[in-house]
Amino acid sequence: MSTAQPTPWPYPLWIAHRGAGKDAPENTLAAFQRGWEAGFRMFECDVKLSADGVPYLLHDATLDRTTNGRGPVEHLTWDDLARLDAGGWHSARYAGERLLRLDQLAAWCEARGALVNLEIKPVPGHETATGAAVARAAQTLWARAAVPPLLTSFQPHALQAALQAAPELPRGLLLESPWPGWEGVAEALQFVALVCHHRLIDAALMQTAQRHGWRMLSYTVNDVAKARRLRQLGVEGLITDVMHLPSSV
């Protein structure tokens, strides 16, 4: 059983996905501001590492979908990345929006008391370096926060590096579907939470989580019926794209 689990659970039920990543350009400051204005007080986002070691927010391993750049991000420095337009792809209103560094997000959160789930999203082959760097940065940037960021990832190697770099920060395993040995890995890496696709969560998985002392969160929950089913099972965090879902279900 995890020894790092916060008690009581300090995070709110509703968590805005990639900021407010449908209403505004995902993982940008504009998206977080939109989510805050909609009433969200916790935000999920994706954190990568630039070629020169700067943690920043981006979901994909390539630039094409959410910037005006092209190709893989692996070899780009922060100076390269900072020049990109990360908003025009979404709508003309957000043209010129820039990629966001993790320290900029931390300052925004500190000014408002916003909470955050940092998904460690390494470029393939950089799992260990990214996990360690994001954890060390989060430890420093949120040192004064009453509630620490929740670090999650699909990549166990990234989470193992995060554990070694900043063991006091809470961690969770993202699961799209079960893979052999996942339960033992989650126990060994002292996770406090599972963050699962909503279709994966049933009574049996909830019993497994409860047996280990793991809290259960779910993604991406965009309608009330799904939210109510998950809440009845005991899920404590719902990551959503929808900015007008009810505060309680």
Tell me the angle at which helices 102-112 and 29-37 cross, rounded to the nearest 10 degrees. Answer: 20
Contact 217, 239 (CB under 8 A): yes
Q: Catalytic: 126?
A: no
> Is 59 tagged catalytic?
yes
On the CB side of 27, how many CA atoms lie within 13 Å of its CA? 23
The amino acid that residue 176 corresponds to is E
Q: Is the CB of residue 117 less than 8 Å from the CB of residue 149?
A: yes
* Inter-residue contact 174 to 119 (CB < 8 Å): yes
User: DSSP secondary structure string, 149-211?
Assistant: PEEEES-HHHHHHHHHH-TTS-EEEEESS--TTHHHHHHHTT-SEEEEEGGG--HHHHHHHHH
- Helices and strands (H and E) in the chain: how many: 8, 9
Asked, as a colleague might, if the bond just before 148 is cis with ω within 30 of 0, I would say: no
Would you name the residues annotated as active-site residues? 17, 59
